[in-house]
A = this chain, B = another copy of it.
Amino acid sequence: MSEQIKIVMAQINPIVGDIDGNVHMIIEAAQQAKQQHEADIVVFPELTITGYPPEDLLFRQALYIQVDAALSTICEAVQDVVVVIGYPMMDDLGERFNMAAWIEKGQIQASYIKQNLPNYSVFDEKRYFESGDQSCVVTYKGVSFGLLICEDIWKISPASQAVASGAEALLILNASPFFSEKHQDRIDVVKRRISEVSVPVIYVNQIGGQDELVFDGGSFATCAEGEVQVQAPEFKEALTPVTLLKQGNSVAIMPGEQAELYEDEARVYQALVMGVRDYIQKNGFNGALLGLSGGIDSALTLAIAVDALGADKVEAVMMPFRYTADISIEDAKLEADALGVHYHSIPIEDMYNAFESALATRFEGYEPDLTEENLQARIRGTVLMSISNKVGKLVLATSNKSEVAVGYSTLYGDMVGGFSPLKDVPKTLVYRLSKYRNTLSQVIPERVITRPPSAELRPDQKDQDSLPDYDILDSIIENYVKYDKSPTQIVEEFGFEAKQVESVVRMINRSEYKRRQAAPGVKITKRAFGRDRRYPITNQYRE
């Protein structure tokens, strides 16, 4: 005898805290999965009802009452298809759990408590949850399914425990945030698990941006040998059907949709676009605004903003000063025209002069220094924030990760903004992403990519007057920040000058106070600044 079961991977984009909205989204997805794909089972991502990560909202008692009500609503609304869903639960002792429920015929037939609680990188789950120790296996149409949640699959025990309890296939609810190598990491870890437990895996991930995190989706189903039989798209809501076939004692996944995956720069670019779009839309802004300098960072940020929101929602402002090169003004205009955004120019000379006069007495006896450079940046920041306040568009900061790392940016100046798209994008990747974007359509003038980068805050200034070449700088940053290597190790491994490495490391340590006041931005590397790297500001550590 053989039995087919249709499982739909519901790759949705919930909003953190929006319980009513998320419930509506869940019910609609379940109904569509039934109608369009004749689904038997619809599997949703981790903590579907609250969105992920709800952070300290999990400490609010009222949340659990609302989650209970949401579960009842779902039980009532969806009775003709099994729904597997994630949510937080609080017991009578006030202990909290990260749960998954199997909802069938209007009732929670079984539930599972997450066992492995990640408490590293951006994750704080031990702050909130107690862990479970039991498997949850449900038999449906003769097939036994084991439920697991996200981190559970990254270690052996919960999967082998489920299989020991009879599971013939694993349903895994995930909220697995993006970084550039993450999709491959997930496939690898699932294959490793399968090599140990030899059952098919249905892995459902959410999509969407949530503050500094982007979830890339890319849900997939593998057979018991580890081959990916069904691949859902990345960065897109999707209801992707998976057909499970049981014949005798064997459970197979039939080949199905194979969405094409993005590669390298294209993938990171999608993550940035989704991060910007969701931050702006989920927070209710009516568009985005940024300062165009004629340099590559603002050019790329502009392209991302337009791809995220549409040209009519984006405004670019050039704010020239006496050190702005003519070609910067020309290139900024070219970029704005190529993308078709609202563009205008506000020279800052008069404002600068007014500050200079006001400060003249206090500054008597002092030479010009970085103060005057920062002042230009702060005037520009204030102009942008004034327009933002007046017209309701969010300011996008344009600093890249290399600048954020070494503090090559002005606090309350070019760091001004509600969101910072390139915050985790090293300068060398800014170049690669710009070239990639130009392959779709030419929006960044060639010479913006080829001319030496400059902040244009004093005559003939170049970034490389103050910093090593960006390929060296980015390598030092990657090794010091991502891999926690010591300066000595970096010198030995790459042959850079010791002085150069030490100087970069000193700059990184000294600018933690700036990063603490920086806008959020999309995490795209394995270790971003922000929750991912918690450093003291007051810190005399030297290696």
Interface residue ranges, A against B (CB under 8 Å): 15-19, 21, 50, 53-57, 59-63, 66, 119-120, 124, 126-127, 209-211, 278-279, 282-283, 344, 346-348, 350-351, 353-355, 357-359, 361-363, 366, 369-371, 374-375, 378-379, 381-383, 385-387, 389-391, 411-412, 416, 418, 484, 486, 488, 513, 516-520, 533-543
Contact = CB atoms under 8 A, between A and B. Distances in A.
Given A120-B127, A347-B358, A541 B382 contact: no
Contacts of A15: 538, 540
Contacts of A539: 16-17, 57
B359 A383 contact: yes
Contacts of A519: 516-517
Contacts of A21: 540
A132 to B, nearest CB: 17
A111 to B, nearest CB: 23
Contacts of A389: 369-371, 374
B371 A386 contact: yes
A361 B382 contact: no
Given A17-B540, A513-B418, A385 B411 contact: yes
Contacts of A66: 543
Most B CB within 10 A of own CB, among A119, A279, A516: A516
Contacts of A61: 484, 486
A486 B62 CA distance: 7
Contacts of A282: 538, 540
Contact of A355 (B278, B363, B371, B382): B382
A366 B119 CA distance: 49
Contacts of A353: 354
A315 to B, nearest CB: 9
How many copies of this chain sit in the oligomeric assembly? 2
A124 B540 contact: no
25 contacts: A15-B540, A17-B539, A17-B540, A57-B536, A62-B486, A63-B543, A119-B124, A120-B127, A124-B124, A127-B534, A211-B536, A211-B537, A211-B538, A283-B538, A347-B358, A350-B354, A351-B354, A355-B382, A355-B383, A366-B390, A366-B391, A375-B386, A516-B519, A517-B518, A517-B519
| Nearest 9 pairs of A and B residues by beta carbon | A17-B541, A18-B540, A371-B389, A354-B354, A62-B486, A351-B354, A412-B412, A378-B382, A350-B354
Most B CB within 10 A of own CB, among A66, A484, A537: A537
B382 A538 contact: no
A25 B16 CA distance: 47
Contacts of A210: 536, 538
A371 B347 contact: no
A288 to B, nearest CB: 15
Nearest to A119: B126
A91 to B, nearest CB: 17
A434 to B, nearest CB: 27
B386 A541 contact: no
A363 B535 CA distance: 42
A391 B369 CA distance: 11
A23 to B, nearest CB: 12
Most B CB within 10 A of own CB, among A348, A518, A534: A534
B540 A56 contact: no
A536 B54 contact: yes
B541 A16 contact: yes
A366 to B, nearest CB: 5
B535 A56 contact: yes
Contacts of A378: 381-382, 385-386
A293 to B, nearest CB: 17
